[in-house]
Amino acid sequence: MKTRLERCNLSTSQYEKNVSKSFPLYYFYINLLLILPSHSVPDSQAVTSLPINFKSMAVNSFMKIFLPKSKVFYDLFEKVSSNVALMGTKLKHVVEEPDFDKRAALISQLEDLEHDNDELTHRVFTELGRNFITPFDREDIHYLASALDDIADYIYASAKKINFYRVNPNDSGLQKLADMIEQSALQVKIAVGELRNMKNMRQMTEALVKINSIENQADDIFDMSIERLFATEADAKEVIKKREIYQAMEIVTDKCEDASNVIESIIIKYA
């Protein structure tokens, strides 16, 4: 697909090239007019006669005030998504572990990861306030950070409730939902990791489609688990406990889909 310049004729193309070359110099000169005292403002001939290297250095120094110093948002999001994927794996280990004390050790690791993600999310919001220019919309950065934080919160809450209520995790509903969470969290990590360059669009879109599919499967598993729970469990307290855990685990897949929707919005705007 041809660019706009390639579609223009030769004269128009040359004109635009000349304008694009001269614009930074005029931009620099205008800002000098604004910030320098009137007696020290250089005339246009003096500015245009400056050495080329000096002109470039001056413009670059001025623009660096507004440009982000590093791609810190990508680094932070990649760390958060890696933690989320690891938490999904550890949650699966929790529901597969029959020993209460060993489960408690795994849940403690999940708590540490959740706290780490809280700190990273706070750093995202701090950097959002510091940076004048962001790699994509500020609202999308905020929404994505919040969605990823919610995933971590609900994964930890699901694991915590299993031991808190002393529920036997040897339950097909819990294990299937944990498997869905692990898969969905991994796809979130893949999609977030591709945001930095947005070159492998096929891998990104495949990850987003999988997240949506997994969320639909988790809904079905939740419904069937609740149906089976009310049909087979006579103890009302056990019904309440397991139903609450099912809900927390199903919400994890909803939050993964929320993150997926934000990433899809970013792709539409910037890809």
Share of the chain above pLDDT 70, in %: 74
Q: What is the pLDDT of residue 131?
A: 82
Mean pLDDT of 27-56: 48
d(CA 38, CA 40): 5
d(CA 85, CA 201): 21
Task: Name the amino acid, one letter, at 180.
Answer: M
| pLDDT per residue as tens digits for the range 97-109 | 999 999 999 999 9
Q: Which long-range contacts (CB under 8 A, 24 or more apart) does 52-59 make?
A: 55/24, 55/25, 55/28, 58/28, 59/24, 59/25, 59/27, 59/28
**Angle between helices 172-193 and 201-232 in degrees, nearest 10:** 160
| pLDDT per residue as tens digits for the range 238-251 | 999 999 999 999 99
Is the CB of residue 242 less than 8 Å from the CB of residue 229? yes
Q: Which of 152, 164, 155, 159 is nearest to 96 (CA)?
A: 159
pTM: 0.74
The mean predicted confidence, pLDDT, of the chain is 82
Share of the chain above pLDDT 90, in %: 64
